[in-house]
Structure formats: C-alpha cells, structure tokens
Chain A
Amino acid sequence: MTTRIDARFAQCKAENRPAFVTYVMGGDPDLATSQAILNALPQAGADVIELGLPFSDPMADGVVIQMAAQRALAQGQTLLGVLGMVEEFRRKDDTTPIVMMGYYNPIYSFGVERFIAAAREAGVDGLIIVDLPAEEDDELCIPALKAGLNFIRLTTPTTDDRRLPVVLENTSGFVYYVSMTGITGAAIKSRAAVGEAVQRIKSHTDLPVAVGFGIKTAEDAEEIGKYSDGVVVGTVLVDAVAKTLVDGKATDKTVAAVRDLVADIAAGVMRARG
C-alpha cells in the first residue's frame, strides 16, 4: 500500500532533491496559532510534517521542545486536540504527509486500538514514538502497521550493524537517523560521520533515510541534504515560535516567523543537489 509518505519521498526523489521534514509542536503556543502554523508549512516548503504530541516528561528532548510541550499543555492541549488539528489540516491538503511524534503514555492512556482508528480517521500517516524501541513492537508498532499507518523508527549512532536489522524490521515510510547521541536541539559533531552512517543504513534498507537532530540553518540543511533522502528540522522552528511570544502569548509575528524560517531552510534543501 502506498502511503502519502511513500508518495512524497518518491516525488522528491524524482525531482532529485531531499525531502524537507519540519517538526512543530501541536498546540504551541495555543491551538489557533499552532493550526495556522501547521496550515502554512506546505506553502513555505515543507514536504513532510512531524506534528509533536505534547508530553509532560519528554526525556529525549532538549529544553526548547520541553517548554513548547509545557506551553501547549498549559493551554489545555490533549491527544484529541492534536488529532483535531490534523483533521482540520486535511480539509485543504490531502497530499502532505503528517507524522505524529511523541511519547507512548498519552497513547497508551487513550487506548491503542482507539488511537489507531482515530489517527487514521483524522488523516495521520505515520507515527514516531520515541520510547517504543523494536523490543516493544507488539505495543503499538504492529497494530499500527496492520492498520496502514507507517511506523517510523529512529536509528542512532549506537545502532550498530548487528542491531540495524532488528530496528529496521518493522520500520516503514522512512528511517529517521538521529545524527548524534543526545537530545533534540544539541549540535552535530561531525557531518562526515553522518554521511557514513546514512550509507551504512542504506546498505540495510531500500527505505528513504532522513537525518535529524542538530540541523539549524539553511546551510546545515544543504550540507546534510547532499547525502540523505530527507532533512528534519525541529528545534529551531519551535524556538522561532518561542522568540515571538510576549508573556507566553502569540503575537502577530508568530506564524510569519515560522513560515519565513521554513522558507529559508527549504531554499537550502533545494540547493543540496546543486
């Protein structure tokens, strides 16, 4: 079954460019502003959207994304609220893939079967659940795959050749290579090592490999895009939201700040293959 994710990566490949994957937190700083940001992303150059599901204890995220989750939760954001954003987005856009990214507990609390049905209904295409490694595939991964959702797995510098087949076995859509051992928002230590790692993963799978963590500028995106099928940018976009807030509230600059930054980095992505 071809999903929106498959179709979009195929399209980018046909255009000889990496896909630009953008991450924003669902509900940050408030539902209406977050919806406006989400709706503006494709026009600004995003090929794939990762929509953050806020969680109180984001263990793999840096302070920027943690604060965004706290802002969203303080505004009353819920799992159903994030799904509602996707539903609203789908009224006008039926092609841009949306990957919901977050932690397992809100989904477990909601009920796995109920969640999968609701996510399909809303128009979610894939899931990235940080604290569900391959060892816990029975929890959500297998039921989600059966229902036609993509389950995108993170691979990291600690995922060696021996382990990669285990990690890739139930991965679909694309592989998300985490450029470093660390949390979101930190800096990449060696771009050369990232390139080698992407090649190593590609020797194990035909899936597209996107690279994320530590990509902050158009120039970073251009470099990383040279040897990957996708470039993921998150923390700087979330930070762009934060920088426009006054007393924690959205201003008339908020949506524009994200849109302009996405357009800027998208240009870098387009330059990647010269």
Chain B
Amino acid sequence: MTTQNTNSLRNGPDEHGRFGIYGGRFVAETLMPLILDLEKEYRAAKADPAYAAELQDLAVHYTGRPSPLYFAERLTEHLGGAKVWLKREELNHTGSHKINNCLGQILLARRMGKTRVIAETGAGQHGVATATVCAKFDLPCTIFMGATDVERQMPNVLRMKMLGAEVRPVTAGAGTLKDAMNEALRDWVTNVDSTYYLIGTAAGPHPYPEMVRDFQSVIGTELKEQFRQAEGKLPDAVVACVGGGSNAIGTFHAFLDDPEVAIYGAEAGGHGIEVENGHAASMTGGRPGVLHGNRTYLLQDSDGQILEGHSISAGLDYPGVGPEHSWLHDTKRVTYVPITDKEALDAFQLLTRTEGIIPALESAHGLAQVVKLAPTMGKDQSVVLCLSGRGDKDVESVGKYLGLLK
C-alpha cells in the first residue's frame, strides 16, 4: 500500500454493493424487494439524529461502551517484543462484539415495523446477542444453529432459550454455520412480510456487509482514540480473528487509510491449510465464488460445490468471508494468515494463565497471530488485538481437549 493513495479505502461499497468485484446482491427474487427496502430504511436511519442518539444511549448504558483498551503487561513480558494491548470487546453485555450490531439492527427492524426476528449463529454469540435484544424489545425470535454447533456450544444454547428464543437445530450438511444460514434464508423467503433477518456478520447480500461493518466500526474508532490517549500515536499493528469477519472489519476500518498501521486477520487454519477440507481459511485456501448473497472467497471444490471446512471454533467454521475482506485481501491492505486449532488452543491457555482472561476460541486465533508477531517487533512498538469474545462458552470443549473432563 502506497502513501500517495488519493482514493480512500474506506468509501466502499459502490452503489451496487460491490467492494471491487466482491459483494453484490445474489439473492432470489422473493428477497430482492426486501433488501432494497432495507437499504432505503438504513440510509434514512443513518441520516436520522434520533436513531443515532438512541443507539448511542444503548451503547453506553446497555452494552457498557466504550470497552476498555487494556495493556497486557505479563503477556507482553512473556512474548518479549512489542507491547500487547487488548481491546476488551469481551466485556460487552452478552460477552462479545456481537451486541454492537444487534442493537443497530433491532432498532431498524422496529422502524420497519417487523414483528419477528430470525438469525443464524455459529458459536452462539450472535444468537445470544440477538435473543437478548429481542427480549429487550419484546420481539419473538428464532435462531438457526447447526446441530453440531448446538452440541459444542451448549451454554449459549441454554442462554438463548432462557432469553425466550426458539433455537432450531439444523441437521443438513455438517450442521454448522453455513447450514444454519441456508435455513435462515429459507425461513426468510417464506415469511417475508413479518420477518426481519438479523445477519450477524459483515457478509450476505448488500446492504448487510456495509451495515454490519458500520455498526461494528465503533470498535476501531474507539480503539484509535484510546490508543492515542495512552501512547500519543497510532499502534504499529492491529489484529483480529476472521470468520465472516465482523469484529475484524469493525476493528480494521478506522485504520485502512493509515498505511503505517499493519493489519492482520487470523483465519481458521483448522488441522492445517494443507489438509483438504480440514480448515476454514477461505482467503488463504479458497477462491472467489458466489454464496449467501455475495461474491467472496469461498472454500469450494473444482466444480463450484461449497465445502464444509473445519475449525475447532464454531464461530469461524464457515466456508466464506465478508466481501470487504476479500477485497482487502486482493488489494493486500490486510494480511490474512491461517492459525491452526492447536495454535489457537495454546494461545487460549496462554492468555488465561498470564492475564487471567479467558478468551473465546475465535479470539484466541487472533491472539495466536499476536503471539507470532509481537516477538518480531521492537519493544517500543505496539500491537492491538480485538479480544472479540470471552471464552466461558468454550470451557467445556477446551476442558475436554486438555483432559480435564472425563
């Protein structure tokens, strides 16, 4: 990336919902009028000071924003290089960054007069956040979750049920996030009049990638200001994990036009990028295709059939990625790297033991990249990780892996 760039990297998408060749509106005709309507409503809401004020008030008093920027002193000492900072999104209400987007969208759903909400979820963090805002705003909601994920993320399933949501396990395919999204789309096509589809990541048909990014951009905007106050400059690197990529794009967006800031996205490398269908690193190990409403990097076979992929982290176990990431990958503004299951598990334990913070397995992928990166940087430099979620939901599956459970 050259500094003499006159065009900002923060202007996307274009009027067709494209980031370069990525994005778009690849949906069935039944849904087309709805997403056009949603786009119109979103533009109107964005221009409405009352909407912004209500969202801001909820961010402060309901979510607990701003989330702290924390200097991880012991982790820094342990790694012996750059200062490591954590943007504490895991301290938000519901335990992850997902609430930022859910509040923005539930206010939109209310403006549009929708009476029912549906959502897909992988790790259950988005499902919990959706169930939470639906409880608060008194709207019935149905959460689609792959049957495999229901099993490995039971605490979140219980939370959703307690919050009043109906959780529908999806058995098709491998029973993970992709299958949950297919099923949510089927429900939406069937119940178009009443239903708002609250997509949890910065992917899907336009305007979702833009809208979700905007709601999550609070992460990077806060981080930039907090870091400036703490250190009087910009960080040298920012890192986030990438599944669909909502916490990552929310973290990165504020820094896209600051070429002195290196940006890293950690994809799910699973059993290793060389293992066929053994990872969920769509950019490192896939190629462009069209699925779930957008063109983006996808894990697919030679005939264009979508692969299931694999990750120990349910939230990253998705064969695609948000279209803006695909574009940032092609333009090389962001460096995307695969992190294996094992590297993520090691990072999970490291943070737990050095800082007393149990990260979500998703965030542990970003952390593993920090573990690799920090020692290669100078002690006067800084790297900031978006700690997107807390790991309470993962203690059982990690406990099994570590042999703490029978």
Contacts and interface: CB of A to CB of B under 8 A. Distances in A.
Interface in A104-149: 104-110, 130-136
A142 to B, nearest CB: 15
A244 interface: no
A110 B301 CA distance: 11
A153 to B, nearest CB: 7
A78 B295 CA distance: 21
A60 interface: yes
A154 B28 contact: yes
Nearest to A166: B32
Contacts of B304: 55, 79, 105-110
Task: Give the contact-size bracket for chain B.
Answer: 35 or more
Nearest to A133: B32
Contacts of A60: 28, 30, 185-186, 189
B190 interface: yes
Contact of B306 (A62, A105, A135): A105
B165 to A, nearest CB: 22
B222 to A, nearest CB: 35
B5 interface: no
B25 A56 contact: no
Nearest to B184: A59
B71 interface: no
Secondary structure type dominating chain A contacts: loop
B29 A159 contact: yes
Contact of A132 (B26, B33, B189, B298): B26
A232 B26 CA distance: 24
A259 to B, nearest CB: 29
Contacts of A110: 303-304
Contacts, number: 115
Contact of B33 (A105, A131, A160, A183): A160
B219 to A, nearest CB: 30
Given A133-B27, A136-B24, A105 B190 contact: no
Contacts of B25: 133, 135-136
Interface in B19-56: 24-34
A183 B178 contact: no
Contacts of B172: 63, 66
A57 B189 contact: no
A108 B34 contact: no
A55 B301 CA distance: 11
Given A135-B25, A153-B29, 9 more contacts: A60-B189, A63-B172, A73-B305, A109-B304, A133-B27, A158-B30, A183-B189, A183-B190, A186-B190
Interface of B: 16, 24-34, 172-173, 178, 182, 185-186, 189-193, 289-293, 295, 298, 300, 302-306
12 contacts: A55-B304, A56-B173, A60-B28, A60-B30, A108-B304, A131-B28, A135-B32, A136-B26, A158-B32, A160-B33, A178-B29, A182-B190
